[in-house]
Structure 1
Amino acid sequence: MTTIKWGIIGCGNVTEVKSGPAFNLVPGSELVAVMRRDAEKAADYARRHGVKKWYNDARALLNDPEINAIYVATPPASHQQYALAALERGLPVYLEKPMALHAESASVIASVAESKGIKFAMAHYRRRLPSFSFIKSLLDQQAIGQVRMVQLQLWKQPTTAQEHNWRLQTALSGGGHFHDLAPHQLDILLYYFGMPSRYFGTGTSISGNVPDIVSGQMVLPGNILFNGCWNFASPANEVKDECIITGTTGSIHFSFFSNIEKVEVHNQDGAQVHQFQTPKHIQQPMIEAVVKYFQGTAENPCSAREGYKSMLLLDAFVK
Structure 2
Amino acid sequence: MDNIKWGIIGCGDVTEVKSGPAFNKVPNSSLVAVMRRDAAKAEDYARRHGVPKWYDNAAALINDPEVNAVYIATPPLQHEEYTLQCIQAGKPVYVEKPMTLNAESAYRMQEAALRHSVKLTVAHYRREQPMFRKIKALLEEKAIGDIRFVSLQMLQPPVSPEANWRVDPAVSGGGLFHDLAPHQLDLMTWFFGRARSATGIARNQTKMYRADDLVSGNILFENGIVFNGIWCFSVGAADKADVCEITGSLGKIRFPVFGHSFTLNINGAEQVFTFDALQHVQQPMIEQVTAFFLDKSPNPCSAEEAILSMQLMDSFTKKDKMIF
Quickly name the TM-score band, shorter chain normalised: over 0.9
Which residue is equivalent to 2:217? Answer: 216
**TM-score normalised by L of structure 1:** 0.97
Shift in Å, 1:161 = 5.2
CA contact (8 A) 1:129 1:278 kept: no
In structure 2, what is the Cα distance between the partners aligned to 1:176 and 1:127?
A: 23
CA contact (8 A) 2:10 2:36 kept: yes
Match of 2:195, SS state, is coil
CA contact (8 A) 1:217 1:228 kept: yes
Cα deviation code 1:19-48 (max 9, x no counterpart): 000000001001000000000000000000
In structure 1, what is the Cα distance between the partners aligned to 2:220 and 2:161?
A: 38
What RMSD, in angstroms, separates the aligned Cα atoms of the two structures? 1.0
Amino acid in the other structure paired with 2:128: R
Amino acid in the other structure paired with 1:143: A
In structure 2, what is the Cα distance between the partners aligned to 1:280 and 1:61?
A: 27
- Stretches of structure 1 that go unaligned for 5 or more consecutive residues are none
In structure 1, what is the Cα distance between the partners aligned to 2:49 and 2:92?
A: 23
Shift in Å, 1:269 = 4.5
- Equivalent residues in 2 for 1:21-60 (5 A)? 21-60=21-60
Shift in Å, 1:270 = 1.8
In structure 2, what is the Cα distance between the partners aligned to 1:161 and 1:224?
A: 37
In structure 2, what is the Cα distance between the partners aligned to 1:161 and 1:300?
A: 36
CA contact (8 A) 2:70 2:93 kept: yes
In structure 2, what is the Cα distance between the partners aligned to 1:277 and 1:93?
A: 29
Give % identity.
51
CA contact (8 A) 2:151 2:244 kept: yes
- Equivalent residues in 2 for 1:69-218 (5 A)? 69-160=69-160, 164-206=163-205, 207=207, 208-218=209-219
In structure 2, what is the Cα distance between the partners aligned to 1:74 and 1:237?
A: 32
Shift in Å, 1:142 = 0.3
Match of 1:197, SS state, is strand
Which residue is equivalent to 1:238? Answer: 239
Cα deviation code 1:71-127 (max 9, x no counterpart): 000000000000000000000000000111111101100111112111110000000
Count of aligned residue pairs for this structure pair: 316
Structure 1's consecutive aligned runs of 4 or more residues displaced over 2 angstroms after TM superposition are: none
Which residue is equivalent to 1:262? Answer: 261
Moved more, 121-130 or 304-313: 304-313
In structure 2, what is the Cα distance between the partners aligned to 1:269 and 1:310?
A: 33
Shift in Å, 1:168 = 1.1
In structure 1, what is the Cα distance between the partners aligned to 2:300 and 2:161?
A: 37
Moved more, 200-209 or 87-96: 200-209
- Stretches of structure 2 that go unaligned for 5 or more consecutive residues are 319-324
CA contact (8 A) 1:46 1:53 kept: yes
